[in-house]
């Protein structure tokens, strides 16, 4: 037994090679489509399996579970869910330019409903797929490879006759790259292929006379027509899509907006989100013109109805929907596919070029196979015709032979030694026979009824047709124009039978502009109770209920309705709340939890301080933490756009216990849980940035922590309750910051 050899290598090199191998496997064998047939491996294997199972377009439907199981067992050794999902998408007319699978049962909806389980649904190949994807597989038209366990053969690529990569598009996420190809109109793409075949020097701009742009199954409007040339030249870019909105008149002079087509990107959960977004526009008072919204979509198509108030500006509202919701969206184009075994981003012309090259390869292989078959037929037909002329001699040879071997030797080589003839003339004539092996086999297997006059006549006609076919096939194989004509003829047939009218409108539209109604600025009072429910009321309402407001609410802040509130928490964060987001109403209204109108999470954080952002703009804020750290931060640092920022940097296991506006000349009193008090001048608190930890305000005893912070004016009487005692803060002895503090006497 030979000794095992240890190969020493750099660990990072092994990891790098392994990861690259894995990435390429995902890219080529899972996530990206092949430029030739526009299919990912799972799609190709599923369609081929359906073809092999005989589930044709004119045959009965079969259970999807059978298709998925057979595909997984023979060709695709991955999860059944990935195979079924691929099968479902190929059957959804709202996702594909032309569906590849004819589904029967619940295959999901445009609104995001999932398909039923595979045991309930049935499917069969669509006629388009049968004729344009799977025809001529028996003519050695594509290479076949062993499957994962080498018990079956599967096609390397399907012989797709139309540019499926463009017609049905593709979406896929690989490792380090992703593909996103929009769907196109079959008729337009076929016209572009024909134009390229006539002139392979044609430019992308000239090709776009035929391919106007993407054609999504959901319709909609592409509004950046001028950007399409750049996208189709480079294979990457952004397409701006809008839904189609119609204005309908109602009784009483009212109008309603009816959305009949949606952007392709809104398929699925996007419709539900759009409805929620429109509701949010009303709730947030962005518009008061919408009375009602209803989704009346059905199998017949999309119909989302938005009823408007009398006198509402329908055009302005439509522009608001484009601007504030996904009714106008962006489709990111990245035409990445596997070409010659490598991932490549291709423009329109490059994809068509690959397709045409593939078509010529398919046609060459197909007609070579057909020519070989016709030449075989010709050889046998000529042998049979010749045999009919000397049939009496052949019968004599057969009767005089002792076995098939002797008869065959006589027919092919003229060997007469072992055969008994009636006359020497017959022997001489038999010695002159020179049939080929195949002709001799055909003669020996020929049935007697073939000698009937009409049968011989039919044989002659068949031979004439064979000669015509041979001439035709040789012409196609040897003449570029003839082969191009055959391919063009086939494309024309597909266009005539399967092409549909363009659904997506291509145009240049102006940027959606809407005039947002300005909110009338007014002073309001923000009220928040101890349960975290917040609301705003006008100043007059507050004045009438001032006593109840202050006794029932934890926070009462006067502010402008156009302003913002800053909420500081024990975790060191500051959350901003737009006052307009807080429900405005009557004094006894319940309000809304502050969690719902900000990023504040009452289950994880506690409020330390809440103030009007405008009031602290030119002030300084005192910060104090549980571990006794203090600092002073300028209010301008908190004038930010973000809804949440870090307001204080905290040490491990520390938390914010106090935030308050501080002015010069005040005295700071720090109180610990154990009852130590330390008083010092506010000037001793250093000015820091919000990202700083600060300095130590008080030296804490073991297991003690800072609990309260008081700010008092010099000479002012001030007291605080500690336990059952009242501590007079103004009578405490002045000290320096960073002291241990004292315990007041009882």
What is the set of active-site residues? Answer: 120
What six digits make up the tokens of 203? 């430019």
Q: What are phi and psi of 345, to 5 degrees?
A: -90, 125
User: Running DSSP on this structure, what letter comes out for residue 701?
Assistant: P
Beta carbons of 161 and 495 less than 8 angstroms apart: no
Beta carbons of 560 and 545 less than 8 angstroms apart: no
The sheet carrying 101-104 orders its strands as 62-63, 122-125, 101-104
Give the separation between CA 743 and CA 119, rounded to whole angstroms.
78
What six digits make up the tokens of 176? 């380090």
Q: Residue 344 forms beta bridges with which residues? A: 337
Beta carbons of 341 and 535 less than 8 angstroms apart: no
Give the separation between CA 407 and CA 409, rounded to whole angstroms.
6
What six digits make up the tokens of 508? 């240049």
User: Running DSSP on this structure, what letter comes out for residue 631?
Assistant: E
The number of residues in the chain equals 746
Nearest to 49 by CA among 155, 169, 140: 155
What six digits make up the tokens of 310? 């009398």
- Which positions ≥6 away from 180 have C-beta within 8 Å? 170, 171, 331, 332, 333, 334
Give the separation between CA 597 and CA 576, rounded to whole angstroms.
9
- Which positions ≥6 away from 587 have C-beta within 8 Å? 537, 541, 542, 544, 545, 548, 549
Q: Are β-strands 505-506 and 221-222 bridged in parallel, bridged antiparallel, or unpaired?
A: parallel
- Which positions ≥6 away from 72 have C-beta within 8 Å? 78, 80, 83
577 sits in which H/E element: strand 573-578
Place of tokens 């999470």: 601
Q: Are β-strands 564-569 and 573-578 bridged in parallel, bridged antiparallel, or unpaired?
A: antiparallel
What six digits make up the tokens of 616? 């602290």
Q: Are β-strands 336-339 and 505-506 bridged in parallel, bridged antiparallel, or unpaired?
A: unpaired
């Amino acid at each position: 037994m030979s000794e095992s050899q240890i190969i020493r290598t750099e660990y990072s090199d092994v990891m790098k090679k392994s990861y690259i191998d894995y990435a390429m496997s995902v890219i080529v064998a899972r996530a990206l489509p092949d430029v030739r047939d526009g299919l990912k491996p799972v799609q190709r294997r599923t369609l081929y399996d359906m073809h092999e199972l005989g589930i044709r377009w004119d045959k009965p439907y079969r259970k999807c579970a059978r298709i998925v199981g057979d595909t997984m067992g023979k060709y695709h050794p991955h999860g059944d869910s990935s195979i079924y999902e691929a099968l479902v998408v190929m059957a959804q007319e709202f996702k594909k330019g032309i569906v590849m699978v004819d589904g029967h049962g619940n295959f999901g909806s445009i609104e995001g409903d999932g398909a039923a389980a595979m045991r309930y649904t049935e499917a069969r190949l669509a006629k388009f797929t049968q004729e344009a994807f799977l025809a001529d597989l028996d003519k050695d038209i594509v290479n076949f490879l062993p499957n994962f366990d080498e018990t079956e053969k599967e096609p390397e690529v399907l012989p797709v006759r139309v540019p499926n990569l463009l017609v049905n598009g593709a979406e896929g996420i690989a490792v380090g790259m992703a593909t996103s190809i929009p769907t196109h109109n079959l008729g337009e793409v076929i016209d572009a292929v024909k134009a390229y075949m006539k002139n392979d020097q044609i430019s992308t701009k000239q090709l776009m006379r035929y391919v106007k742009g993407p054609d999504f199954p959901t319709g909609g409007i592409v509004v950046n027509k001028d950007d399409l040339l750049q996208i189709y030249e480079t294979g990457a870019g952004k397409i701006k899509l809008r839904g189609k909105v119609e204005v309908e008149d109602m009784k009483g002079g009212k109008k309603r907006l009816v959305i009949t087509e949606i952007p392709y990107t809104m398929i699925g959960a996007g419709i539900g989100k759009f409805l929620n977004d429109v509701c949010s526009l009303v709730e947030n008072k962005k518009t008061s013109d919408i009375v009602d919204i209803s989704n009346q979509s059905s199998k017949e198509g999309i119909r989302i109805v938005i009823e408007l108030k009398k006198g509402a500006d329908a055009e302005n509202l439509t522009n608001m929907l484009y601007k504030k919701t996904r009714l106008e969206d962006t489709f990111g184009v990245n035409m990445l596919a596997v070409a010659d075994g490598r991932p490549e981003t291709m423009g329109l012309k490059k994809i068509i070029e690959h397709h045409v090259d593939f078509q010529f390869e398919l046609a060459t292989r197909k007609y070579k196979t057909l020519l070989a078959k016709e030449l075989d037929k010709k050889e046998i037909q000529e042998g049979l015709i010749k045999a009919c002329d000397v049939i009496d001699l052949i019968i004599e040879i057969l009767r005089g032979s002792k076995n098939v071997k002797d008869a065959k030797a006589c027919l092919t080589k003229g060997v007469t030694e072992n055969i008994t003839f009636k006359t020497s003339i017959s022997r001489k004539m038999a010695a002159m026979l020179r049939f080929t092996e195949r002709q001799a086999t055909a003669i020996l297997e020929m049935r007697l009824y073939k000698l009937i006059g009409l049968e011989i006549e039919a044989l002659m006609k068949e031979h004439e047709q064979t000669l015509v076919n041979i001439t035709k096939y040789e012409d196609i194989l040897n003449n570029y124009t003839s082969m191009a004509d055959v391919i063009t003829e086939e494309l024309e047939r597909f266009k005539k039978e399967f092409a549909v009218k363009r659904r997506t409108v291509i145009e240049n539209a102006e940027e959606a502009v809407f005039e947002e109604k300005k909110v009338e600025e007014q002073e309001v009072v923000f009220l928040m109770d101890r349960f975290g429910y917040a609301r705003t009321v006008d100043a007059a309402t507050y004045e009438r209920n001032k006593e109840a407001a202050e006794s029932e609410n934890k926070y009462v802040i006067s502010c402008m309705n156009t302003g913002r509130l800053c909420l500081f928490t024990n975790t060191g964060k500051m959350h901003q709340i737009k006052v307009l987001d807080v429900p405005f109403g009557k004094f006894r209204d319940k309000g809304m939890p502050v969690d719902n109108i900000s990023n504040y999470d009452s289950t994880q954080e506690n409020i330390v301080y809440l103030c009007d952002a405008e009031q602290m703009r030119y002030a300084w804020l005192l910060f104090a933490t549980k571990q006794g750290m203090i600092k002073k931060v300028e209010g301008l640092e908190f004038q930010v756009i973000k809804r949440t920022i870090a307001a204080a940097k905290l040490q491990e296991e520390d938390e914010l216990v106090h935030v308050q506006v501080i002015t010069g000349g005040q005295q700071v009193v720090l109180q610990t849980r154990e009852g130590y008090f330390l008083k010092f001048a506010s000037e001793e608190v250093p000015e820091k940035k919000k990202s700083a930890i600060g300095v130590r305000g008080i030296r804490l005893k073991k297991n003690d922590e800072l609990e309260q912070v008081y700010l008092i004016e010099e000479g002012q009487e001030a007291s605080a309750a500690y336990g059952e005692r009242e501590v007079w803060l103004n009578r405490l002895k002045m000290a320096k910051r960073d002291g241990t503090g004292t315990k007041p006497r009882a």
